[in-house]
Structure 1
Amino acid sequence: MAVFPQYQDAKTDDRFRLGQQKGSLPFYVSYNKPGAHYPMHYHDFAELSLVTEGSGTESINGLVHNLRPGTMSLLLPHHIHELRSDPACPVKLYSCMFDITILSGNPYESYLSRWLHKVGSELPSFHHFEGETLDAIALLIGQIVREYEDARVGRDAVLRGKLVEAVTLLLRAVLEGQPVEDVRQSDPGIRAWSIMRYIHLHYNEPISLNTVSSHFNLHASYVSRTFKEHTGKTVGDYMHELRIARAATLLTASGMSITDICMEVGYDSYRTFARVFRQHRGMSPSDYRLSRDKPVISS
Structure 2
Amino acid sequence: MSYPAALVLHTPELWCLTGPAPTMRQAHCHDDIELNVVTDAPLRYLFGGTLAEIRPGEVGLFWAAMPHRLLDSPADMSRAHVGWAHVPVRTVLGWSLPDAGLARLLGGRPVVAPMEAAGVLDLSAFDRWTEDLATGSVERRRIAMLEIQAHIRRLLHSVRGTDLPSVEWDGTDDGVRHAALMARYAMAHFHDPITAAEVATAAHLHPNYAMTLFRRVTGTTLGAYLTQCRVAEAQRLLLTTNATTAAIAVEAGFGSQSGFYATFNRLCGMSPGAYRRRSGSSQSAPDRRN
Same fold (TM over 0.5): yes
Amino acid in structure 2 at the alignment position of 1:8: V
Aligned to 1:264: 262
Gaps of 5+ in 1: 17-25, 214-218, 245-259, 268-299
Does 2:67 match 1:79?
A: yes
Residues 158, 263 of structure 1: CA spacing in aligned structure 2 closer, same or farther, 3 A cutoff?
Answer: same
* Residue-pair matches, total: 215
- Following superposition, the deviation at residue 117 of structure 1 comes to 1.4
- Following superposition, the deviation at residue 91 of structure 1 comes to 0.8
SS in 2 for 1:154: helix
Gaps of 5+ in 2: 215-220, 229-257, 266-290
Identity %: 11
Task: After TM superposition, list the pairs within 5 Å mapping 1:28-107 onto structure 2.
Answer: 28-34=15-21, 37-46=23-32, 47-55=34-42, 57-76=44-63, 77-85=65-73, 86-87=75-76, 90-107=79-96
Q: Which has the larger radius of gyration?
A: 1
Distance 2:45 2:58 in 1: 10
SS in 2 for 1:84: coil
Aligned to 2:182: 192
Residues 30, 181 of structure 1: CA spacing in aligned structure 2 closer, same or farther, 3 A cutoff?
Answer: same
Amino acid in structure 2 at the alignment position of 1:54: A
SS in 2 for 1:265: helix
Give the alignment's Cα RMSD to 1 decimal: 4.5
CA contact (8 A) 2:43 2:54 kept: yes
Aligned to 1:117: 106
Structure 2 length-normalised TM:
0.55
CA contact (8 A) 1:80 1:197 kept: no
Distance 2:77 2:20 in 1: 13
Aligned to 2:149: 164
Amino acid in structure 2 at the alignment position of 1:231: M
Q: 1:231 aligns with which of 207, 211, 214?
A: 211
Distance 1:169 1:179 in 2: 18
Structure 1 length-normalised TM:
0.54
CA contact (8 A) 1:10 1:44 kept: yes
Structure number with greater CO (CA < 8 Å, separation at least 6) is 2
Q: 2:135 aligns with which of 150, 158, 163?
A: 150
